[in-house]
Amino acid sequence: MTSLKKFLHFWAVAFFPSRCPYCNKVIDDSECACKRCRKQIPEYCWKTYAAGGYICAAALPYKDAYSKAIHKLKFKNRTDLAKPLAMQIVRAVKELYGDLHFDLVTCVPMHKINRKLRGYNQAELLARECAELLELPYLGTLEKFKQNQPQHETSKDEREKNVRGVYRLLGNTDLSGKRVLLIDDVITTGHTLGECSRILMKGKCAEICCAVVCVASVNKFIAPG
C-alpha cells in the first residue's frame, strides 16, 4: 500500500469499522463475521440448480440473520456488507467447483432506472468482491433492457414468464470459449439465474457456473457437500 492509501485506510477503519453482517459487531476487515457468528455458519455449502439446469453454489440458507444481511445490503445502503458476504460466496465456490478455472466473474444486472434509484446493483458489488478475492477479472456482460415486476412480488408460477426476454448481452461482449462465474445475491426459483445463463450461452460461453450468498427453499434443493 502507498502511504496515502495507508493513511486513508487508517481513517476509514477508525470511522467506519467493518461490521459483522449478522449481528453488527465490529470486526477486523479481513474477517467474514464475528467469532460467535462464524461458529454458527453452516459447515457445508449447497449445490442447487438454476432453471435450465445450470449449477449453482450457495453458501447460506435464506433465513434469520442471513436473509436480514441480504436485506441490509439491498435496501439499507449497507454496501460495506458486500465484502464479507462475497467471502461466503467464495467459500461455496471453492467447495463446489474446487480447482475449476474461471475466465471471468459477472453478475445478474439491474435495469438502469432501478440501479439509479438504489445507487448500486448489489449483485455487481458481490461479483466485484468475488473477482478480487478469486484474483479473476470482473466483466459486466449483461443488460436488463426491459423492466419487469420484482421477482419476489410475483407468484412462483409467474416467475419464469416474468424474466423471459428482459436481458441481453452488452454491446460487443465476446465470451467465446470462456468459463463464466455468474453471481447473484439469492437463488429462489432459479429463473433469474437461468435466464441470464441462457443469454450468456448465446454469447458462446463454454460453461456457466452460478454462485450466490443465500438459497431460499433449501428443503427443495438441499444437498450438503
Residue ranges binding Zn ion (CB under 5 A): 20, 22-23, 25, 34, 37
In angstroms, give the least distance from the CB of 50 to Zn ion.
30
Size (the chain), residues: 225
What is the residue whose three cell numbers read 478475492?
133
Q: Which is nearer to Zn ion, 13 or 26 (CB)?
A: 26
In angstroms, give the least distance from the CB of 5 to Zn ion.
28
- Measured between alpha carbons, how far is 208 from 212 in angstroms, rounded to an integer? 13
User: If you ran DSSP here, which 8-state letter would residue 186 be given?
Assistant: E
State the helix-helix crossing angle for 82-97 and 64-75, rounded to 10 degrees.
120
- Measured between alpha carbons, how far is 22 from 68 in angstroms, rounded to an integer? 7
User: If you ran DSSP here, which 8-state letter would residue 120 be given?
Assistant: S
Q: Which is nearer to Zn ion, 27 or 123 (CB)?
A: 27
Q: Which is nearer to Zn ion, 23 or 170 (CB)?
A: 23
Q: Which is nearer to Zn ion, 34 or 200 (CB)?
A: 34
- Measured between alpha carbons, how far is 108 from 204 in angstroms, rounded to an integer? 18
In angstroms, give the least distance from the CB of 67 to Zn ion.
15
Q: Which is nearer to Zn ion, 22 or 54 (CB)?
A: 22
Q: Are 202 and 25 in contact (CB under 8 A)?
A: no
User: If you ran DSSP here, which 8-state letter would residue 33 be given?
Assistant: S
Distance of CA 72 to the CA centre of its chain: 14
- Measured between alpha carbons, how far is 196 from 101 in angstroms, rounded to an integer? 20
In angstroms, give the least distance from the CB of 198 to Zn ion.
38
What's the distance, Cα to Cα, between the start and end of the chain in Å?
Answer: 38
What is the residue whose three cell numbers read 438504489?
118
- Measured between alpha carbons, how far is 89 from 108 in angstroms, rounded to an integer? 15
Q: Which is nearer to Zn ion, 25 or 164 (CB)?
A: 25
Q: Which is nearer to Zn ion, 84 or 109 (CB)?
A: 84
In angstroms, give the least distance from the CB of 78 to Zn ion.
14
In angstroms, give the least distance from the CB of 21 to Zn ion.
8
In angstroms, give the least distance from the CB of 92 to Zn ion.
19
